[in-house]
Amino acid sequence: MATTTAVAKTFKLGGELEIHRLGYGAMRITGEGIWGPPADPENAKAVLRRAVELGVDFIDTADSYGPAVSEPLIGEALAPYSKGTIIATKGGLTRQGKNKWLPVGRPEYLTQQAEMSLRYLKKETIDLWQLHRIDPKVPVEESLGAAVKLKEQGKIRFIGLSEVSVAEIEQARKVTEIVSVQNEYNISNRKSEAVMEYCTKEGIAFIPWFPVASGKLAAPGGKLDEIAKKHDATVSQLSLAWLLHRSPVILPIPGTSSIAHLEENHKAQDVVLSEDEMAELEAAAK
């Protein structure tokens, strides 16, 4: 059986910051509905510390997770940060309750939130700041203009986007360098395929949120389950392995509030898929 070429374990963000491709998404260390504090804050901090112990050096969060819950927990658990630990955060979504999210892209609001992120994360510079959503009421040039000013002041190192189209990425790149795009994407949800392919071509990090497959494809007895069993892996691990094989720019950020689940996810990078298996999965996904 032909094997795929070796999968790169690392990626250089912005061509400069080398990170391991399998990161950690810190959305789930909040309360139900991504609202309020977690039931056990000490466990949330233990999960963060364990992630770093495992070698995870790319942690993704947002000011709206909680809101103002995920970022302070990261700051409390991990600052001062070990060398090479990169924290990505986002601004531009506001919260009105459990599972409620509304975009606000006014420059003064984004500036305020970035300053708060720095305080909560206990950092002098945000490694990667991403516009969480483009606000339809505010030209993206104005929203990104705020981030550019913060970058000039040394408060942001790199700028990225979230939930955007190829056209929106190209529009944003006229304002500033875009080093990452964070869209919903997994083997069973391919609505962002064109964006992922564009990022691959341009060398832009593609950070899939909701990286684990769901629905019929991931069901017991399905193709994912069948191939996972061959590798003594779970469907979640296989979903993450597929992403790592799919493109060298993909940086999956599975999130969890459980140390056991975190450790399980981390082992996904050791699953090596053959070209035949990748083809089988592609056929099943279609």
How many C-beta atoms lie closer than 10 Å to residue 270's C-beta? 11
Average pLDDT value for residue range 47-74: 98
- The pLDDT value recorded for residue 3 is 57
Least Cα distance to 279 among 238, 232, 249, 242 occurs for: 242
88-147: pLDDT as tens digits? 999 999 999 999 999 999 999 999 999 999 999 999 999 999 999 999 999 999 999 999
Model pLDDT for residues 159-172, shown as the tens digit of each residue: 999 999 999 999 99
In the predicted structure, residue 253 carries a pLDDT above the cut 80: yes
Work out the mean pLDDT of the chain and round it to a whole number. 96
Angle 5-245-4 from CA coordinates, rounded to 5°: 25
Give yes or no for residue 2 having a pLDDT over 70. no
- Would you say the pTM of this structure is higher than 0.85? yes
- Of 194, 251, 243, 240, residue with least CA distance to 17: 251
CA of residue 63 relative to chain centroid, distance: 14
68 burial via Cβ count (<10 Å: 0-12, 13-18, 19+)? middle
Categorize the per-residue pLDDT at 6 as very low, low, confident or very high, splitting at 50, 70 and 90.
confident
For residue 31, pLDDT over 50 is answered with: yes
Domain boundaries, the chain: 10-210+247-255
3-class state of residue 176 by DSSP: coil
Known catalytic residues are 65
CATH 1.10.10.10 fits 10-210+247-255, yes or no: no
122-160 burial by CB neighbour count: b if 16+ within 10 A, else e?
A: bbebbbbbbbbbbbeebebeebbbbbbebbeeebbbbbb
More confident residue, 155 or 5: 155
